[in-house]
Amino acid sequence: MDFGPYLMLATLEGAVTAAVLALTASGLALVFGVMRVVNVAHGEFFMLGAVLAWWVTSWFEGAAAFGFAFAILTVPLIVGALAALADVTVLKRLSYDPERTIVATIGILYILQQVTLMTYGPDARPVTPPFNTRLALPWVEMTETGLSLYWPWGLSITSYKLAVIAAATVILLALWIVMTRSKLGLMMRATEQDREMALAFGIPVERVYALVFGLGAGLAALAAVLIVPIQQAHYLMGGDPLLLSFIVVIIGGLGSLPGTVLAALLIGLSDGIISVFFSPTLAKILATLLVALVLVFRPQGLFGARRA
Amino acid sequence: MLKLEAVNAGYGRAQVLRDVSFEAQAGEITCLLGRNGAGKTTTMKAIMGVLPLMSGAVRLGKTVLSDLPAHVVPRHGVGYVPQGRRLFGDLTVGQNLEVGRFSQCESESTLEEILQLFPRLRERYAQRANTLSGGEQQMLAMGRALSLRPSVVLLDEPTEGLQPSMIAAIRDVTETLRDQGVAVVLVEQRVEAILALADRAALLENGRMRGVVSGEALRDDPTILARHLGV
Ligand SMILES: Nc1ncnc2c1ncn2[C@@H]1O[C@H](COP(=O)(O)OP(=O)(O)OP(=O)(O)O)[C@@H](O)[C@H]1O
Ligand SMILES: [Mg+2]
């Protein structure tokens, strides 16, 4: 394959990674932004989303598309409810103390991981995508008669991957509208800025916290349901999304939603491109290096405004 | 109307308020006086319920506010203008006012009234709160509290750091509220404002009550203020 088509292929693969990462990291950013809680268990809510998606779709043998639709509607709600429960029973009792909640979410991480190992087992299991047509992609070429389209061998993407990109975009837009235009979003942002004043002005801060923690975990689960037909469900799959989400949230400017999405695009696309042309390991090394540089030279994040 | 009964409260294990009791009547301005660190702001937080009581009670009419979850207190008509304004800085003027309206008792909007009361807020409606000038921020803090149509207003040093014309405007609003029958609790350090406005004064020293005096008594005997404010 020529360089041009090859780059386009790498970009598309990177865009899938970026889309899923943007969803996952937005959940982490939301929880950190509003609650100032560093949710170390975030990756396990992602893993739980994938494993539950496998479980739910396994009820619908032969009707893969229906099973998948059912999973994408129910699994994020189940995971979100579980997270909200963890908030009320654990984090609330720690008064959302920044240090103690880190330790507590590490505990939640191991509980979720080990319970999954005990029930679901150590195997990686695939989920059938609801649709999976391979679409050949055209490329332009200079010929004597001018520009012409041709279909290079190997330049293709599945319809499902395109759907993942589209779905993530729609969900992120919806999240943005909720945060900026709705009463609920206003409550979350007021709570984020001054918890005590939010309370003094009638905002049920504890319910907002439970909701935000559930929403954050639900976004991770949603991302996992979207990616599991491409990646397979496994009880240890939460590590990478957690690390990458942290990288993205730090680069994006802690807690800022647009910054997080931009950083996810940066990391996801470069991960795709570097992995294709060089190696996935180099991609991770460069991303981690970027975080180190950001932390030293621009601690408010590449896209974040300095916070008071 | 608003009544504190032997309120004990503090931060963690450090008790600040000890048996604080006083009453604020509708249509009156009750000044809460004391030196820096006496516990005036803490008293306001205790009334709002954002600081849980160790013992004692805060009543509003027949309702025991201190038995309610904090976020329900404003719904009973208690508006809070905190010390240092404490606006939602990243939200716009309009959004800050909207948060204020979350707790209003009547469903009818009071936005227009607020904007008439503080015309500057109309000009700055879409601007972020932390980009306002100090005076505008204080107007917004007042507007936010009045948005819920309160029957009790807690004003914690509303004129701190403001120029005379702004102070006069805040004072006008305070008097209007009183004339409308609102119970105003005012923390104020400036002697002339206290003398002009106080219908009664609750004196606080090191978290303990040192008595409640009438406005006349304050005006007749300036040494009371001197003793309790250290001026
Ligand atoms: N968040 C807090 N944690 C611990 N102690 C506090 C806290 N806030 C206030 N205090 C303490 O409570 C006491 C009373 O403080 P408070 O703010 O109520 O005083 P104040 O009368 O409002 O003073 P000022 O005139 O300076 O505003 C002080 O000794 C203060 O150090
Ligand atoms: Mg004070």
Highest mean pLDDT among A149-153, A219-223, A278-282, B107-111: A219-223
Contact between chains at A186 and B91 (C-beta distance less than 8 A): yes
pLDDT band, very low/low/confident/very high, at A304 (cuts 50, 70, 90): low
Contact between chains at B70 and A200 (C-beta distance less than 8 A): yes
pLDDT over threshold 90, residue A61: no
Residue B20 in contact with ligand 1 by CB distance below 6 A: no
Tell me the average pLDDT across B123-146: 96
Structural domains of chain A sorted by starting position, each given as residue range(s) with its CATH number in brackets: 3-307 (1.10.3470)
pLDDT band, very low/low/confident/very high, at A82 (cuts 50, 70, 90): very high
Phi-psi label, residue A293: left if phi above 0, alpha if psi -120 to 50, beta otherwise:
alpha
Closest CB from A183, A197, A204 relative to B86: A197
C-beta atoms surrounding A48 within 10 Å: 28
Contact between chains at B100 and A201 (C-beta distance less than 8 A): yes
Residue B36 in contact with ligand 1 by CB distance below 6 A: yes
From A191, which residue of chain B is nearest by alpha-carbon distance? Answer: B88
Closest CA to A31 of A204, A219, A233: A219
State residue A254's pLDDT score: 77
Tell me the average pLDDT across B150-168: 94
Q: Going by CA atoms, what residue is nearest to atom 5 of ligand 1?
A: B11
Q: Which residue has the tokens 């999976």?
A: A132
pLDDT over threshold 70, residue B155: yes
Residues of A with Cβ-Cβ distance to B131 under 8 angstroms: none
State residue A148's pLDDT score: 81
pLDDT over threshold 70, residue A306: no
Mean pLDDT, chain A, rounded, equals 92
CATH assignment at residue B162: 3.40.50.300
State residue A150's pLDDT score: 83
For the four alpha carbons of B59, B60, B61 and B64, in that order, the dihedral sign comes to: negative
Q: Which two tokens mark A70?
A: 């059912």
Residues of A with Cβ-Cβ distance to B68 under 8 angstroms: none
pLDDT over threshold 70, residue B231: no
State residue A308's pLDDT score: 37
Quick: pLDDT tens for B56-68.
999 999 999 999 9
Question: Mind telling me how many Å the CA of A261 is from chain B's nearest CA?
Answer: 20
Give me ligand 2 centre to Cα B80, in Å: 13
Provide the 8-state DSSP code for A302. Answer: S
State residue A142's pLDDT score: 78
Contact between chains at B99 and A196 (C-beta distance less than 8 A): no
pLDDT over threshold 80, residue A307: no
The pLDDT > 70 percentage for chain B reads 97
Write the DSSP string, A266-291: HHHHHHHHHHHHS-HHHHHHHHHHHH
Closest CB from B71, B95, B98 relative to A205: B71
What is residue A166's three-state secondary structure? helix
Domain that holds residue B148: 2-229
Q: Going by CA atoms, what residue is nearest to atom 24 of ligand 1?
A: B36
| A80 and A212 Cβ atoms separated by less than 8 Å | no
State residue B9's pLDDT score: 97
* A20 alpha-carbon distance from chain centroid: 5
Pairing assessment for the beta strands B2-11 and B14-24 based on DSSP bridges = antiparallel
pLDDT band, very low/low/confident/very high, at A73 (cuts 50, 70, 90): very high
Quick: pLDDT tens for B175-228.
999 999 999 999 998 888 888 999 999 999 999 999 999 999 999 988 888 887
Mean pLDDT, chain B, rounded, equals 93
| B197 and B175 Cβ atoms separated by less than 8 Å | yes
Quick: pLDDT tens for A231-286.
999 999 999 999 999 999 999 987 788 999 999 999 999 988 898 888 888 988 99
Is the ipTM value over 0.90, yes or no? yes
Tell me the average pLDDT across A136-156: 82
pTM (2 d.p.): 0.92
Write the DSSP string, A210-240: HHHHHHHHHHHHHHHHHHHHHH-B-TTTTHH
Quick: pLDDT tens for A8-56.
888 999 999 999 999 999 999 999 999 999 999 999 999 999 999 999 9
Residue B85 in contact with ligand 1 by CB distance below 6 A: no
Query: In chain B, how many domains are there?
Result: 1
pLDDT band, very low/low/confident/very high, at B27 (cuts 50, 70, 90): very high
Q: Which residue has the higher pLDDT, B219 or A225?
A: A225
State residue A212's pLDDT score: 98
Tell me the average pLDDT across B2-30: 96
| B145 and B81 Cβ atoms separated by less than 8 Å | yes
The helix or strand, by DSSP H or E, that contains position A135, with its residue range, turns out to be strand A134-136
